[in-house]
Amino acid sequence: MTDSPSEPAAELVHLEVDGPVATITLDSPHNRNALSRQLVTELVGHVATAGEDGSVRVVLIRSSGRVFCSGADLSEASSGGMEEGTRAIVALQRQLLTLPKPVVTEVAGPVRAGGIGIVAASDVAVVSTEASFALTEVKLGLAAAIISLTVHQRMNPRAAALTTLGGEVFTGEQAAAYGLVTVAVPAAELEAEVRRTCESLATGAAQGLRESKRILNRDLVARIDERGEELAALSATLFASDEAREAMTAFLSRGK
């Protein structure tokens, strides 16, 4: 008797194209859309596909549930090295910034740590006033290293210091005031606001969108190219430290 072939892993990220808008949906509820290797790989692949589709003018990234992203997959981080994982998040941020089409993120609820890097790397972020944010790395003996490449450049310096050093939760309205997101609207208005934003952006000509985005993001891309490898290495070192491993193990134990 031979073993039956294993079932392929269920897709964690979905792509749907409707007219000029490509919607990419994070759908990994079992770990609150944590940035696992599989999720990041699928997200990168779908972003690339949308970027190559000539009919697409705008890319929208959203989540299937209320939680947008819980940050790094701590179960993976605590059981193996994060060298590849940290570099992958750096590369994802660069991909979103250099995609020749506007990237919009829709955030209805919680987003934490590494997930905030996706929000910051997008061109427009529309969030609910009920959304919540937290740079929780400091609580685990880590640092917001790789996402600092985008997050700290979007936020005003005082807000960056407060949220990075404190690691506390802040609201969608505060995120807008800090410069991290574009606008925060009541939850009941979020879907309509995102639709209006995408429709407006989609009226741009392909060349105009591509070149305008390249000008807007030039300094952010240069920062990633200059410091990305250094900060990825720092982040991997912190993940591997005894202090961080103990903190991650304790955090995972509380969730069981």
pLDDT, residue 81, reads 72
Q: How is the beta sheet containing 124-128 ordered, strand by strand?
A: 13-18, 21-26, 58-63, 103-107, 124-128, 183-185
Residue 114: its H or E element: helix 114-121
pLDDT, residue 6, reads 62
Give the domains, in start order, of the chain with CATH numbers. 13-189+205-254 (3.90.226.10)
DSSP 139-188: GGT----TTHHHHHHHS-HHHHHHHHHH---EEHHHHHHHTSSSEEE-GG
pLDDT at residue 1 greater than cutoff 60: no
pLDDT at residue 4 greater than cutoff 60: no
Residues contacting residue 154 through CB under 8 Å, at least 6 positions apart: 120, 179, 180
pLDDT, residue 251, reads 83
**For residue range 85-99, what is the model confidence (pLDDT) as tens digits?**
999 999 999 999 999
Q: Does residue 77 or residue 60 have the better pLDDT?
A: 60
**For residue range 189-236, what is the model confidence (pLDDT) as tens digits?**
999 999 999 999 999 999 999 999 999 999 999 999 999 999 999 999
Q: Does residue 18 or residue 75 have the better pLDDT?
A: 18
Q: How far apart are CA 23 and CA 218, in angstroms?
A: 25
